[in-house]
Every structure is written in structure tokens, then in C-alpha cells.
Amino acid sequence: MLRRPTVAAKAAPVRPAPPPRPARAPAPPNYRTASGPFVAPIKQAPERASATVTVNGMVSSRLNKRMAELGLCSRREADDWIAQGWVKVNGQVAEMGVQVLPTDRIDVDKVAQGFQEQRVTILLHKPMGYVSGQAEDGHTPAVALINPRTHWRDDPSRNRFSPPQLRGLAPAGRLDIDSVGLLVLTQDGRVARQLIGEDSTVDKEYLVRVVYQAPGQAVPRHPSERSAPLQEIDERDPVSTNVQAVFPPELLDRLRHGLSLDGEPLKPAKVDWQNPEQLRFVLTEGKKRQIRRMCELVGLKVVGLKRIRIGRVTLGNLPVGQWRYLSPNERF
């Protein structure tokens, strides 16, 4: 009887024992230990740097903010100038982020002033179908209209167009895609801050064509006179002629003061009838689609909107789709 030879089993290799795991360091005080070995951080709100107050009660501020407040430039420009060493505080070259007092003397190198003088501000008569800022939903931005072919030939400015003028050229304020009129595009941070800064007080004037959608009734001027047209108003048949005759005066007062948008009361506005179908608005603020939304709150629908003035600068005879330079003697 044959037997299989017995083969000795190979012994498994002996692995060295792993080194002992070091003891876990205690969690920092701003950590919370969850059940098990997981340690989760506790998110804490960053501490805001408090303003430095001197003995005399004066509050310091960052240099770039102070330069913007003085109208020297925008904050971004200030940072660029400081990085270039073009800004001195009390005779010493300033460092980025330095705090200054209202009494500190700030000097800017002439080199920086020269760069600023080369920056242009452009006034465009924006047509419908163009967006004010970046391209969106396939619509063309208004800056695409700034080229030699669309430069108004009656522009009194001596400036001549060159491609570098498009660098950093941005709208200082919005104008909806369906709105037309004066749009400001600028390379100058001082102009941008003046028009759209938080403390801006520059007013803007608009001509607004409206129809009336709310129910109401016109009041005859005199028993012997013919009644105003479209006395009976229906929401399905809005009044588009002689809107002034049927629009309640108390609602016009609400347009001037008393409305709120996004939970915040609006600043007082000047609103008057220019003709029976057109209102004139003068605003000192510019919330998104503000005039259209204001009108909707009182039963009006905007069917045409044109901006004709920003501060002391008017649209004038500038043709639709053309532009001109802001001249040196013009101020908003």
C-alpha cells in the first residue's frame, strides 16, 4: 500500500511587532471631542480689528480708506500706489495696511497722479438690448460699443481713442437691458466712488413712460365738459393714454415718499408728470430695477425708461449707440 510522503509545513514568517502608537495629544481648547476618536473643530467668528482711538479721541483708519475719503483715488488704486512706494504719510514712505489719523499728512507722488490723469471717463447713450456690466444670458455688454466707429463726431473733447482706454473700463452704475440713456463707464476710481460709493449723493434723472393697471375712475373736470378718456379702468385693459387723468394723486405722493423695497424704506424721490403718459423721476439711490418696482407697487407698469442726467452731466444730443469723453471741465 502506497502512502504519500509527508511534507513539513512551512512556518509563517515572523513579522516584527508594530511600534507602540504615540499617545494622542490633548485637543486644543477651541476643539470639541465627538463620541469616539473624531475631533471636530468649533468654528469661531473672526475677531474684527477694532479701530485705534487716540488720547484725543480721534479714530484711525486704514490708509487706503482714508485716501478714498479724501477723493485722491479708489481703495484699489491706493493699494497699487502704496505697493509702488508712491504714497508718503508725514514724509515717510507708507506700508500696506498702515493706520492713519485725520491729522496725518498724505502725499502722493506725481508719477501716480500722471497715471490717473491718463484714465478716461466715457459717456454712452446706451440702446436697448445691452447689459451694463458683464455679458449675461447671451446679451452683449455696453462696453462693446466703445470703439472708434461709434465715437460721436461732435465730441468736444480732444481725446483720441486708443485700446488701452478699455483696460479697467467699468460701468459706474447700472442701466437695465430694457432701459436706454446715459451710462457712465470709467477707469477713474474717484469717479466710480462719487457715483456709486456708499456715501454718494449724486442724483439721477429719468423719463418714464407708464400705463395704469389698477382699477379706478377718472373725475370729470366740469359737468359741462367731456369726461377724461378711459374712465372705467380694467386690469386687462390698462390705461395707456392720459394716464395722469386717472392716476390717484395719493399714489403719486407714495411714489415720492412712503414705499419700501427689500424690507427697507426708500429715500425721498422727486416724481412729477412730464406729460399725460410720462413721469419724471429724480433719485439719489439706485436699487436694482428700482423705478419699475416702485411703479408696480402703485399699479403702474413701465413701458419705457430713459436716463437723461447724472448729477450735472446731461445726455444732451448724444445719439443712441454713440459715446463721448467726459471733458476736463465737466463735473458730476
Residues 183 and 124 sit within 8 Å (Cβ to Cβ): yes
191-214 as b/e, with b when 16 or more CB fall inside 10 Å?
bbbbbebeebebbbbbbbbbbbbb
Per-residue pLDDT at 198: 80
pTM (2 d.p.): 0.66
pLDDT tens by residue, 46-104: 444 445 656 477 888 889 888 878 878 778 788 888 988 889 999 889 998 889 888 89
Task: Decide which of 18 and 273 is more confident.
Answer: 273
Residues 179 and 173 sit within 8 Å (Cβ to Cβ): no
| Highest mean pLDDT out of 14-23, 124-133, 189-198 | 124-133
Q: Which residues pair with 100 in a beta bridge?
A: 61
pLDDT tens by residue, 231-256: 333 445 577 889 999 999 999 999 99
| Angle CA 104–110–116, to nearest 5 | 100
Task: Decide which of 209 and 328 is more confident.
Answer: 209
- Coil, helix or strand at residue 215: coil
Closest CA to 112 of 163, 69, 77, 139: 77
